[in-house]
A and B are shown apart, each in its own frame.
Chain A
Amino acid sequence: MAERALQQIISQLKSHPNAPYSEASKLLSKAKIALLQLKVVTPSPSTPSSHLALATELYEAGALFSIRAKNAEAFTRYVSQLQPFYELADDAESGGSREESRNKVTGLYLLLLLTQGRYAEFHSELESLSTRARGSEEIERDRYLGYPIKLERWLMEGSYDRVWKAMKSREVPSEEYGVFSEILTSQIRSEIASSSERAYPSLPLSSTKSLLFLDSEGAVIDFARQRGWVIRDGQIFFPATEGAEDGGDEKEISQMVIENTLGYARELETIV
């Protein structure tokens, strides 16, 4: 009985991917009650596989809905709920479609970690991916998983233009991934800005536009104001970040040297 209801809800959710989040969450909580009745909220090896598949499907749908609603917390919760199901499913024969939706959710999760700057978790997740039966080349070639991995590599390298292009082009694997574009764009922009501050003595306004991937010079001026840059004669000058630090530095060094030497003397005394 609960099983039938669950199936119904899932098909309902799938047929209306653009339903408002409030409606979807109502359906989802109903489905969760059904899951409770089936006792598959937390899976065990003895759970029948049909129930497992249903639960996985439901959680995946929930994850996608929450990401569309930009609810990162709910998404993370769904992903962690999915984890044990995936582990159990690893050995069972899984069809192509299951694998695909799994990769989709995992890829989204990776992207989320990336935009939140949780690199340690990102790489832990990556590590567990690479030990899954398939080779890592295959993972990189996967539409859903390859995207965040490539983005991460480019971000680390500093090839921001490639990130930008990847976001704008057809490479984005599905619409859910688009949610992150905005966050990524502002992230890239601030990265570029902070490196420009150090790298260029000055920048012409016109080329800054393309450098920062902004639409108009007006936007450049706004952005420059935000970061406190000085605009003069169509050139952007960066306020000097380092000023009279040298004096304090010198003092610090000599103090450190004295401290160290005293320390050595003390240690020597205890040894001899």
Chain B
Amino acid sequence: MPGKTPHSNGKEPVENSVRNNQDVEMTDEKSSMKGKGKKSVKEGEDMTVVVPPSKATKQSSQPPPADAEGDISMDDPDKEQDLEVKVDPVTQAVTDIKSNFALLDRAVALFDSRFTLRALRSISSLRKRLTPEIISQVIAETFPPTSASAAVAKQLLTAIGKADVPLGRLSSTDMEIDNDSKSPKNGSKKEIKDIIPEIDIFLAILIQVHLFDSKQFQSGAEFSKSLADRIHSLNRRTLDSLSAKVYFYYELFCEQLAPLPPSPRSPIVAIRPTLLTALRTAVLRKDIDTQAAVIVLLLRNHLLTSHISQADLLVSHTQFPENAANTQVARFLYYLGRIRAIQLRYTEAHEHLTAATRKSPASNCALGFAQTATKLLLVVELLMGDIPERATFRASNMEQALRPYFLLVQAVRVGNLEDFETTIADHADTFRRDGTYSLILRLRQNVIKTGIRMMSLSYSRISLRDICIRLHLGSEESAEYIVAKAIRDGVIEATLDREHGFMKSKEVGDVYATREPGEAFHDRIRACLGLHDESVKAMRFPMNQHRLELKNAQEAREREREMAKEIQDGDLDDDDLGGDFEGM
């Protein structure tokens, strides 16, 4: 392939039809980098946003927009708060963290994981305010010095390098701002008995987040290892969603450690046994959250080191839990789509990736995921011989990141081999970073096929020589074989004349006479019906509501009976009757 130098970006700004190369390139670069950065952010926390907002919204006091934009400095929201409430940001953060303990308590008491999820969701807003001081203060205030869990607390403190902070300190500021029911609850909790493990695991996750954000990967990995061991020994169903998070960060830490992923010596290979054990335990305990999270992590792990066949085996030997969290399903589908695309099973890959992009959150919080999935989806669509819709590239949050793919699609659509090769050469680095490069190289044949199709549509008869020149094929013989193959594969309707060396196109039949429109229609209807079924399944009903309805029905029936009786007795006016019926 000509000119495939990796650094051709800025050097040949005027070449070809690529418009004002340099500028676009620069912004593009930035945006995709940003997308990447965001991806890790998203993976860290925010996919949870998809979970439909629960009715009782008592979230943390932090205004939500703050975490949607990655670059806002951390003072801004705090300043606002200073004006409003006049609270020290540290104390505010401490109380925010503590307010989650109440949620966790409720989760354990009511055995309802929704409260746990809500606590986990608040991590994203706490994240930027975490410092070792804040965490140590929370730990010190939460854990009494003389209890069984004191050792655990000590461990947590050591992890953030604050081993000397004494436990059981009661802060005075705590009392000042806790004006509602929170403070008595805190107090009583301390009196009752030990701190529930959920709380210390929650704190541990906060520490993991903090270590990750401050790039202390080595200590983070060690801390996560001991944490994973501890979780393994605890058998509490209310811990499920928390432990899923713990494993998640464990994997993230390992990915950042010294021999980076593509190398088979990377620490992520070493944690596979741990993850597999976790998976086994999770399956046995019917712990859906951990199960889903760990399967996804293992897939990611294998794909990072390009162990495609192992990943495939993993998929075929495990069963992804049906009612896993939406976010995990989306990730699982993405990885599955990736595996299938590499294995040339494009139809399946397309199915999985479409589902993955649809399931990714609509808001901007997981933009990185949406972008990555869309990129892969676009390539797979191209490989299947479809041309992606123009609108995909016009979406404001995608436009820049998808720019190289847009150029690629243009080249494929027109069947211009030259444009195709220059696009690949220009954006090789981007494609390689996205992990789509080897897939894109396979597109060459599609470009040729499209080129032939265009030619067969526009000419009723064209010599092989012209085809060869137009498509920049090596020789006339090549052209002949390629066209013959295209005819056999059903790409075009034509015949070849060997003696005179030309291709003769057949008349194109009416598409509407075939079964194709019917099939497309059927597909769409099926998708709609599937959507309907899924939304029905996803509906949540309040407990015991049906009793109320039954009671209402009972009452209605009684009223009816009374009315019937009254009618029988004949002392009911017409007006009265009408009104009543309307009410029913």
Residues of A at the B interface (CB closer than 8 Å) are 87-88, 90-91, 119-121, 123-124, 126-128, 130-133, 135-137, 153, 156-162, 191-192, 194-201, 203-204, 207, 211, 253, 256-257, 260, 264, 267, 271
24 A-B residue contacts at CB 8 Å? A87-B264, A88-B264, A91-B265, A123-B438, A128-B306, A130-B306, A130-B437, A132-B262, A135-B6, A136-B432, A157-B485, A158-B484, A159-B478, A161-B481, A162-B478, A195-B481, A195-B487, A199-B488, A199-B494, A199-B495, A204-B498, A253-B518, A267-B529, A271-B532
Contact A121 B309 (CB under 8 A): yes
Minimum-distance CB pairs A-B, first 3: A158-B485, A120-B343, A195-B488
**Number of contact residues on B: which range applies?**
35 or more
A128 touches B307 (CB 8 A): yes
How distant is A156 from chain B, measured CB to nearest CB, in Å? 5
Q: Which of A120, A157, A197, A211 gathers the greatest number of chain B CB atoms within 10 Å?
A: A157
CB distance from B468 to the nearest CB of A (A): 11
Q: B478 near A161 (CB under 8 angstroms)?
A: yes
Chain A residue, CB-CB nearest to B312: A124
- Taking the nearest CB of chain A, how far is it from the CB of B442, in angstroms? 7
**Whole-angstrom distance between the Cβ of A236 and the nearest chain B Cβ:** 10
B498 to chain A, nearest CB (A): 5
Which residues of the partner chain B approach A200 to less than 8 Å between Cβ atoms?
484, 495-498
With A127-B308, A161-B475, A267-B529 already in contact, the answer to whether A133 and B262 are too (CB < 8 A) is yes
Q: Which residues of B contact A120 (CB under 8 A)?
A: 342-345
Asked if B263 and A137 sit within 8 Å, CB to CB, the answer is no
Chain B, residue nearest A203 (CB)? B498
Q: Contacts of B454 on A, CB cut-off 8 Å? A: none
- B416 lies within 8 A of chain A by Cβ: no
Q: Chain A residues near B342 (CB, 8 Å)?
A: 120, 123-124, 127
Which residues of chain B have a CB within 8 Å of any CB of chain A? 4, 6, 259, 262-265, 305-309, 312, 342-345, 432, 437-438, 441-442, 444-445, 448, 473-475, 477-478, 481-488, 494-499, 515, 518, 522, 525, 529, 532
A136 with B437, Cβ < 8 A, contacts A131-B306, A157-B444, A199-B484 known: yes
Evaluate contact between B263 and A91: CB separation under 8 angstroms: yes
Assuming the A-B contacts A136-B437, A162-B474, A260-B522, are A123 and B343 also in contact, with contact meaning beta carbons closer than 8 angstroms in the complex? yes
- For B309, list chain A residues within 8 Å (CB): 121, 124
A192: which B residues are within 8 A, CB to CB? 481, 484
Closest to A84 in B: B264
A104 and B301 CA atoms in complex are apart in Å by 28
Contacts of B263 in A (CB 8 A): 90-91, 133
Tell me the complex Cα distance, A256–B518, Å.
Answer: 9
Q: Which of A90, A121, A207 contacts B499 (CB 8 A)?
A: A207
Which of B6, B445, B487 contacts A198, CB < 8 Å? B487
> Which residues of chain B come closer than 8 Å to A161, judged between CB atoms?
475, 477-478, 481
Report the bound CA distance from A64 to B345 in whole Å: 32
Cα A128 to Cα B339 in complex, Å, equals 12
How far, in angstroms, from A132 to B342 measured CA to CA in the complex? 16
Using A91-B265, A123-B442, A158-B445 as known contacts, list a sample of 10 further A-B pairs with CB atoms less than 8 Å apart, ordered by residue number in A: A120-B345, A123-B342, A199-B495, A200-B495, A204-B498, A207-B498, A256-B515, A260-B518, A260-B522, A264-B525
Shortest distance between the CB of A192 and any CB in chain B (Å):
7
